[in-house]
Amino acid sequence: MVDREGHLQWIELSRTKIAEYGLFDIYAARRTAGRRDAEFLLLDAPDWVTIVPYIEEKEAFLMVRQYRHGSGTVTLEFPAGIVDSGECAAEAARRELLEETGCTAGTFDEVAAVNPNPAFMTNRVHTFVATGLVCDAELDLDENEILDVETVPVERVAKGLGTDPFINGIMVISYTWFVRWRERRRPKERER
Amino acid sequence: MVDREGHLQWIELSRTKIAEYGLFDIYAARRTAGRRDAEFLLLDAPDWVTIVPYIEEKEAFLMVRQYRHGSGTVTLEFPAGIVDSGECAAEAARRELLEETGCTAGTFDEVAAVNPNPAFMTNRVHTFVATGLVCDAELDLDENEILDVETVPVERVAKGLGTDPFINGIMVISYTWFVRWRERRRPKERER
């Protein structure tokens, strides 16, 4: 089978769950490309959401500082989380923003969703820009979640992106979508 | 223990390998934050590299079209791969570019390295911009790797990023680093 450009696609023959780790499951997929077939490893995770809470009047973001167990370092990044079962991405974005920052937002715009690594991951990460923030709730954190909420100038993020404490790759994606969201909105503002 | 900003860091007490999957290993890390301790899941993978092969005279990229088993779709993305044992990231970038496109490059600039998801992944993804391409070698692909090399205008990538076939999140990161690399270089060009 080929796609519109004539490129070969693999067809799935079977899929077996190998392990469950809470954050994700591991599957082995048996797939065929005509004369050959082989087994491929899949990391199957729920979709992720990242929220870019943008405070327009301060030209700043609301960000969370937290210890990240994968990198073993403290990072400064946008609020983010996992889409729970039965939730849509927009609902997860609202919930995570409220839990991690105590804020609600007047507007949530989904800018884009991409696959974190389509080589072996099955899920997508959705980025929402949140504006019109009202922050008057208590944080509601998971048992081992310890985080500080900070207001960070957009300029500081733009300059520091890719260096400590802004080393989260998902955040680079979300920042890129934020820039795109702002560029798309500017022509409209000029028309007013 | 706290970092420079006074934020709590967890201390590792022990780490146990739970599974090996070839692409990555899974570990359980027992860590303490003073009064509490808990177990955290780590996905331990070798570092990844992405190469942005930039053809300046055509204002285009050299990209690879391939079926990706995680997303189950055909994507168009920058050449990329895994840093082999004993290799540094720059060596892996040279090797992957040659294997996947048949090209060598006069210049490889590493722009940045970030963690793909520091919540649970331990590795980093390095982005190199490759210029001065000489493409006269045969492709050298892994057994189940099937790919087409294409020349894609920068403008097409800029506009299509985040939509099919440009849905690879790692590629969004690499494209962002490419834009940064070009911005940094432009003032120097003006001085000439």
Q: Is the pTM of this model over 0.90?
A: yes
Partners of residue B22 in chain A, C-beta under 8 Å: 41
Across the interface, of A12, A68, A114, the residue whose CB is closest to B162 is A114
Does residue B188 carry a pLDDT above 70? Answer: no
**ipTM of predicted complex:** 0.93
- Residue ranges, comma separated, of all CATH 3.90.79.10 domains in chain A are 48-191
From residue B33, give the alpha-carbon distance in Å to each of A145, B16, B28, B44: 11, 19, 16, 22
Residues A43-58: tens digit of each pLDDT: 999 999 999 999 999 9
Residues B163-182: tens digit of each pLDDT: 999 999 999 999 999 999 99
Does residue B89 carry a pLDDT above 90? Answer: yes
Structure tokens at B36: 């509490």
Does residue A1 carry a pLDDT above 90? Answer: no
Partners of residue B82 in chain A, C-beta under 8 Å: none
Residues A127-163: tens digit of each pLDDT: 999 999 999 888 888 778 788 999 999 999 999 999 9
The type of residue at B106 is G
Does residue B192 carry a pLDDT above 60? Answer: no
Q: In what order do the strands lie in the sheet with A37-44?
A: A11-20, A25-32, A37-44
Architecture of domain A48-191: Alpha-Beta Complex (3.90)
Partners of residue B7 in chain A, C-beta under 8 Å: 65-67, 74, 146, 148
Contact of B142 with B81, CB cutoff 8 Å: no
Does residue B141 carry a pLDDT above 90? Answer: no
Residues A82-140: tens digit of each pLDDT: 999 999 999 999 999 999 999 999 999 999 999 999 999 999 999 999 999 999 888 88
Mean per-residue pLDDT of chain B: 93
Mean per-residue pLDDT of chain A: 93
Contact of A52 with A78, CB cutoff 8 Å: yes
Calpha distance A72→B5 (Å, rounded): 16
Nearest C-alpha neighbor of A97 from the set A126, A133, A123: A133
Nearest C-alpha neighbor of A82 from the set A61, A100, A103, A105: A100
